[in-house]
Amino acid sequence: MILPIIKYGHPVLRAKGKWIKEADDRIRTLAADMLETMHAANGIGLAAQQVGAALQLTVLDISQVEGRPSSLILNGVDVDPASAMPLVLLNPRLEMEEEIETESEGCLSFPEINGDIDRAIAVTVEAETLEGEAVFIEAEGLLARALQHEIDHLNGILFIDRMSSAEKASLSSRLKRLQKETMRGVK
Ligand code: ZN
């Protein structure tokens, strides 16, 4: 089922996601709906907060993106990142390497808004799968960026929080408008 995507201005986007002790039917259904919702919106990642659930759950799929490469070592094995997609991650714990790069980023909760964001080039993520198995990810490039963006969401952090103050200032009227539109829908 395709779910409505929560837009900027809704308080759930600022909520820290609850730890998931065990993936029950509710979590499995939510994850399947999140994948369907993300794919329908042509997104590369979606966090549970973006469909109104403050949980440590995110889905990612970078397989359709061209021109922005990724690399992935999954549980110690070098794999074609596209072949490992989509990813469904529960309770992800992120470690970032020091080296930073600046690239353009968007977010399904901020339609038509993009900004340059500094992110670590390489990350490691420990998480659990829907089957309850531990997964260890070493990622670089676009996948590393997407993981940082989504895990930020799970902690109530949005990409605008990572923008330079100049960039955020240049977007301020559009952000205010979006916030107002969203609040009208919430009431
Ligand atoms: Zn986002």
Output the CA 46–ligand 1 centroid distance in Å: 7
| Single-letter code of the amino acid located at 89 | L
In a domain, 132, yes or no: yes
In a domain, 181, yes or no: yes
Q: How many beta carbons lie within 10 A of that of residue 4, not counting itself?
A: 10
Question: Which structural domain, as residue segments, surrounds residue 46?
Answer: 11-185
The count of structural domains within the chain is 1
3-state SS string over 29-86?
HHHHHHHHHHHHCCCCEEEHHHHCCCECEEEECCCCCCCCCEEEEECCEEECHHHHCC
Output the CA 6–ligand 1 centroid distance in Å: 10
pLDDT (0 to 100) of residue 186: 74
Output the CA 81–ligand 1 centroid distance in Å: 20
In a domain, 6, yes or no: no
Predicted confidence (pLDDT) per residue in 31-73, tens digit: 999 999 999 999 999 999 999 999 999 999 999 999 999 999 9
**Which CATH number characterizes residue 150's domain?**
3.90.45.10
Active site positions, annotated: 150
Q: Is the pLDDT of residue 185 over 90?
A: no
Is the distance from CB of 101 to CB of 85 less than 8 angstroms?
no
